[in-house]
Amino acid sequence: MKRLVILGTGGNCLDILEAVRSINAASPKYECIGFLDDAPERQGRSFLGVPVLGPLEKASTLKDAVFVNGIGSPGSYLRKPEIIARTGVPKERFETIVHPSAQVSASATLGPGTVVLQNATIAAQARVGSHTIILPNSVLSHDDVVGDYTCIAGGVCVSGAVSIGRCCYLGGNCSIREEVTIGDGSMVGIGSIVLHDIPPGSVYVGNPARFLRSAT
């Protein structure tokens, strides 16, 4: 079995651990040996029976391990490239984790380090980049394109042929109309309805979604 380390200890990280355990229930594939987290108060603790091995920088010393990232809240999603780069781990040592209940089309593609959680659906010819996380019950429709480091929260519905940029955050239960483009580094608020393109680095909220502020 592959020795797996999860970056972070937040809720998404625990969901990743449970996805791994569901994968193993069908066919043992991973031994989750620990988490890495920079928070001093989390050192020496265990979460769901798995220990925190140290800060992110320790990743470079775990030569026989593979990794997956769970860090990426509404407050930190723009820093995901920096967080992952700090580990010094090459791209090929990041695992793509798909919960057994998720439905992923055979014609869809998922990049290294991407996570697809419970009951998510990824339809025909969708393309998802690296280090993206798709939370439970979300739908990516046919021909959608999702950039690296993006987070799609729970219950999001993305219509067909949508382009979502790099380092975006789509809040829970938002909906995106077909053929819309969401620019790099943008955030869509919880429950928002996006009918038109969103420029890079913007936060949009509401029904229909409107500009609220810059994302930085």
Return the amino acid letter for 18.
E
In DSSP terms, 69 is beta-bridged to 7
Half-sphere exposure of 166 (CA within 13 A, CB side): 6
Catalytic residue among 99, 131, 142, 196: 142
In whole angstroms, give the CA distance from residue 86 to residue 150: 18
Please name the residue that has the structure tokens 């990280």.
13
Task: Assess whether 196 carries a catalytic annotation.
Answer: no
Closest residue by Cα to residue 171 from 184, 159, 156, 185: 156
> Do the Cβ atoms of 53 and 5 come closer than 8 Å?
yes
Closest residue by Cα to residue 5 from 44, 45, 63: 63
Catalytic site residues?
A: 142
